[in-house]
Structures are given as C-alpha cells and as structure tokens.
C-alpha cells in the first residue's frame, strides 16, 4: 500500500494552500498585530475579539456563513461576480479566503505578543538617535521579534494544514482543486477504506507532532511565549 495518486494530489494541494495562506496571513496579520499591541483605542477590545473568533467558533459556522456570503446572493459573491472572477466556493481561491479567516488568530496572537514584549521604549530611544521608521523596522523590530514571526508562520501553516470543517463546507471535494488531506481522510473513512485512512492520518499525526516539537524546542531557546 501507500499513497494513491489522489492522496498525493491532496497532500500537494494542502501544502500549497497552507503556504499561500501563511504568506497572506503574515502580510495581513502583522499590521493588525502591531495596531493591537500599541493602540489605546476603544476599538482594541472589539477588534481583538473579532480576530480571536475562529478560536471558539465551530468551523461549520464559519463555513456556513462563508458559503452564503460568497454565494451568488451574498455580498462577497456579488462583489467577485462584479469583478468578473465568478464565485469563490469550490475554488482554490475560495479555500485561501476561508483559511485566512480561519487561521488569523494563530498568526496575529504570536505577533501581538512579540510586539508587546518589545514595548515602545527601544523604538523611542532609536528615534531620539535619529533612526527613521524604515531603519527602526529593519534594525530593531524585525530582529527583536524574529521568534514571534517564526511562531506565527509555523502555527498559521500547521493550523491551515489541519483545517477540516470549513473546507468540507465550501470546498466541494474536487480532486486537485479543493480536496485537501483532511477531506480525503474523511472520504476514506466514509468509504470504509480504513487502510488508506490510516496512511494519511498517521502522516498527519507525525507531521503535526514534528512541527510542534520544532516550535517548542525553538521557543525554549529564545524564551518567547506562544
């Protein structure tokens, strides 16, 4: 036995999805995390709560509303149709959008922790030494929060790989386009094909353990909390 062609396609698709999602999340999440770490606005609470929602919501809630929102009658669906790119459900782009929502807290929160840990003092000192914003970003913020970025990237990636409920609800189970590993495993189990299910499940288990092991051993050295 081993992986079938469909299994391999699912693995490749999942890695691609997690990669694209993680990149996007770092771009979107960093400004949000920065703002959350430094703002004194009254909006800090509501925005923080919004970002954290996927931590407590069942993926079916997210998947259900995404399906409605991205459908032909939904606001997102009407917008994407107006743009001429059609509807997002059942497409790779749709999975990326869903995954960005779904994994947002896993990227924002480690970054926010790192930014808060940095504090504003080093930045003020650098500013009095006439370091410009770009200089402060590259010589201070990025190096000092490196482990926060690493945690965010690894968690965002791993969480997207493990996504199930949302992709099941808006994916449509299309091989090569939306059939990710977790859905493929579910398929095997439903089809009573437990041998194939074991192959993929065991790989996921080992992958997840290794990722978290790397994360924890790295974090122990640099002492940054998750």
Partner 1 sequence: MSIQPNSLPTRQAGRAWPCARRSSGPWQGLSPLLLGLCGLCLTSGTLAAEVRVAVAANFALPMQQIVAEFERSTGHRAGVSLGGTGKLFAQISHGAPFEVFLAADQRAPARLVAEGKALADSRFTYARGRLVLWSSQPDLLDADASALQQGRFSRLAIANPRVAPYGAAALAVLEGLGLLEMVRPKLVQGENIAQTYQFVASGNAELGFVARSQVMRDGQLQAGSAWPVPERLHPPLRQDAVLLLRGKDNPAARALLAFLRSEAAGSIIQSFGYGL
Q: Which of 134, 143, 192, 223 binds partner 1 (CB under 8 A)?
A: 192
- What whole-number distance in Å separates Cα of residue 168 and Cα of residue 190? 13
CA 21, 22, 24: angle at the middle one, nearest 5? 65
Residues within window 108-167 making contact with partner 1, judged by CB under 8 A: none
Count interface residues toward partner 1 (CB under 8 A): 23
Is 198 a binding residue for partner 1 by CB under 8 A? The answer is no
Q: Which of 3, 34, 35, 90 binds partner 1 (CB under 8 A)?
A: 90
Stretch that binds partner 1, among 10-18, 134-142, 183-191, 205-213 (CB under 8 A): 183-191
Q: Which of 59, 89, 110, 148 binds partner 1 (CB under 8 A)?
A: 89
Residues within window 43-62 making contact with partner 1, judged by CB under 8 A: 60
Torsion of CA 147, 151, 156, 159, to 10 degrees: 170
Q: How far is the CB of 48 from partner 1 (least distance, A)?
A: 29
- What whole-number distance in Å separates Cα of residue 180 and Cα of residue 173? 8
> 86: which residues sit within 8 A by CB, 6+ positions away?
80
Q: Which residue lies nearer to partner 1 by CB, 116 or 187?
A: 187
> 98: which residues sit within 8 A by CB, 6+ positions away?
62, 63, 66, 166, 167, 170
Is 176 a binding residue for partner 1 by CB under 8 A? The answer is no
- What whole-number distance in Å separates Cα of residue 187 and Cα of residue 173? 9
CA 27, 137, 144: angle at the middle one, nearest 5? 95
Q: Which residue lies nearer to partner 1 by CB, 19 or 72?
A: 72
Stretch that binds partner 1, among 81-89, 109-117, 147-155, 201-209 (CB under 8 A): 81-89
Pull the structure tokens for residue 106.
């896993």
Binding site for partner 1 (CB under 8 A): 60, 64, 67-68, 70-73, 86-87, 89-90, 168-169, 172-174, 186-187, 189-192
């Amino acid at each position: 036995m081993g992986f079938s062609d469909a299994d391999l396609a699912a693995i490749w698709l999942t890695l691609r999805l997690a990669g694209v999602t993680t990149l996007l999340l770092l771009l979107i999440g960093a400004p949000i995390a920065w703002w959350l770490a430094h703002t004194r606005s009254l909006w800090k609470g509501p925005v923080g709560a919004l970002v954290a929602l996927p931590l407590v919501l069942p993926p079916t809630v997210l998947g259900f509303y995404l399906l409605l929102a991205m459908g032909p009658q939904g606001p997102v669906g009407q917008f994407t149709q107006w743009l001429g790119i059609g509807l997002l459900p059942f497409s790779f782009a749709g999975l990326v959008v869903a995954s960005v929502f779904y994994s947002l807290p896993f990227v924002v929160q480690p970054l926010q922790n790192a930014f808060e840990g940095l504090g504003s003092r080093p930045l003020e000192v650098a500013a009095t030494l006439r370091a410009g914003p770009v200089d402060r970003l590259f010589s201070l913020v990025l190096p000092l929060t490196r482990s926060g970025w690493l945690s965010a990237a690894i968690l965002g990636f791993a969480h997207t790989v493990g996504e199930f409920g949302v992709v099941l609800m808006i994916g449509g189970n299309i091989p090569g386009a939306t059939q990710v590993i977790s859905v493929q495993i579910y398929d095997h189990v439903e089809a009573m094909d437990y041998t194939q299910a074991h192959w993929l499940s065991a790989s996921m288990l080992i992958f997840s353990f290794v990722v978290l092991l790397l994360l924890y051993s790295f974090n122990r050295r640099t002492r940054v909390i998750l």
